[in-house]
């Protein structure tokens, strides 16, 4: 129960938080019945926006999570960023960049931007050990 000043008088109200709204939902991107966590992998957007997963348009914001079957996947991400200064704001958006990676069952991954002087490139982090995973599409295009 919280108390606040409303229209010159104190009012009491209940504050309820809905964690699923704050954390986002996990969209299942494989056919068939739901599988246990140990048989799937999850990829989430971390300071990037995921536009496509395996060619499927999925863009739903920077807190999106997607459940996948283990195996090779292509994730297209872009960077939407803002820089705030007392006198101006810079907003910029990149073009999508494709990352190919091999998702392992029971693992969680997140996209991550690596910022450089005037550019950036994305990578994917394995959340269990906080290490970058191999993300080259070139070896899979043969």
Asked if residue 12 is part of any domain, the answer here is no
How high is the pLDDT of residue 137?
Answer: 82
Q: What is the pLDDT along the chain (142 residues), one digit of tens a residue?
A: 444 434 444 444 343 333 333 345 889 999 999 999 999 999 999 888 999 999 999 987 666 899 999 999 999 999 876 666 677 666 667 888 999 999 999 999 999 998 887 788 899 999 999 999 998 887 555 4
CA separation for the pair 7, 29 (Å, rounded): 48
For the whole model, what pTM was predicted? Answer: 0.73
Asked if residue 29 is part of any domain, the answer here is yes
Token pair 């991550």: residue: 112
How high is the pLDDT of residue 9?
Answer: 46
Q: Which domain holds residue 73?
A: 20-140
How high is the pLDDT of residue 29?
Answer: 95
Contact 23, 42 (CB under 8 A): no
Is residue 130 helix, strand or coil? coil
How high is the pLDDT of residue 6?
Answer: 42
CA separation for the pair 110, 108 (Å, rounded): 7
Asked if residue 14 is part of any domain, the answer here is no
Asked if residue 5 is part of any domain, the answer here is no
Asked if residue 97 is part of any domain, the answer here is yes
CA separation for the pair 132, 142 (Å, rounded): 23
């Amino acid at each position: 129960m919280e108390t606040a000043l409303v229209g010159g008088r104190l009012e009491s109200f209940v504050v309820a938080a809905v964690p699923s709204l704050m954390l986002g939902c996990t969209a299942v991107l494989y056919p068939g019945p739901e599988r246990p966590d140990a048989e799937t992998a999850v990829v989430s957007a971390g300071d990037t926006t995921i536009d496509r997963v395996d060619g499927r348009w999925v863009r739903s914001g920077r807190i999106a999570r997607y459940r996948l079957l283990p195996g090779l996947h292509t994730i297209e991400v872009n960077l939407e960023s803002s820089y705030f200064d007392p006198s101006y704001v810079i907003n910029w958006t990149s073009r999508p960049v494709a990352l190919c990676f091999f998702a392992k069952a029971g693992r969680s991954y997140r996209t991550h931007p690596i910022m450089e002087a005037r550019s950036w490139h994305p990578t994917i982090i394995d959340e269990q050990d906080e290490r970058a995973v191999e993300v080259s599409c070139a070896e899979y295009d043969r």
